[in-house]
Structure 1
Amino acid sequence: MLEKQAFGVCSSIADSAGWTVDRVRVYFVYLSLLTFGSPVIVYLFFAFWIHWKQYIQGRRPLQYL
C-alpha cells in the first residue's frame, strides 16, 4: 500500500518483467544492503522517469497522501 503512494516503481518494474511485486521489493532491499544504498539513486531516477512519461502522455500523475 505504501509503495503505491511512494512512486510505484517496484510495481512498474514487476509488471514489465512479469515478476511479483514482492520479489522486486526483496531484490531491491537486498541490493541496497549489499551496495550500501546506491540503488536508491536508481529508484529515484525511475520514479522521475515514470512521472515524466505520464506527463508527456497527458495522463494525470498519481496523487500522494
Structure 2
Amino acid sequence: MKWFQKTKYFFEKHGFEVSSRLADRLGMKAKNVRLFFIYVTFATFGVWFAVYLTLAFLLRLKDLIYTKRTSVFDL
C-alpha cells in the first residue's frame, strides 16, 4: 500500500496542471474537466489518457519555449 501512496503523490505533484489550464481556457471548473477525462478514458479503453499525456507534453513545451517577460531588460 505504501507504493500506491508514493505513486499517487508523484502524479499529484507532477500532473502539469493540464486539467486546470484547459478549464481556464474553456471557462469551466477543473473538476468537470477531470471527470470528463476519467469517464471518457473508461469508455474508450484508455485512448483519452493518451490525449491527456499529449496535452501535458505540449503544455510543458509551450512553457519552456514561451516565457512571459515583465520588461525589456529581462533578456
**TM-score (normalised: structure 2):** 0.69
Please name the residue that 1:7 is paired with.
16
Please name the residue that 1:42 is paired with.
51
What are the ranges of 5 or more consecutive residues in structure 1 without an aligned counterpart? Answer: 60-65
Q: How many residues get paired?
A: 58
4+ residue segments displaced more than 4 Å: none
**TM-score (normalised: structure 1):** 0.79
Displacement after TM superposition at 1:57 (Å): 1.1
What is the identity percentage for the equivalent residue pairs of Structure 1 and Structure 2? 37
Q: Which structure would you say has the larger RCO, counting Cα contacts within 8 Å and 6 or more residues apart?
A: 1
Rg comparison, structure with higher value: 2
What are the ranges of 5 or more consecutive residues in structure 2 without an aligned counterpart? Answer: 1-11, 69-75
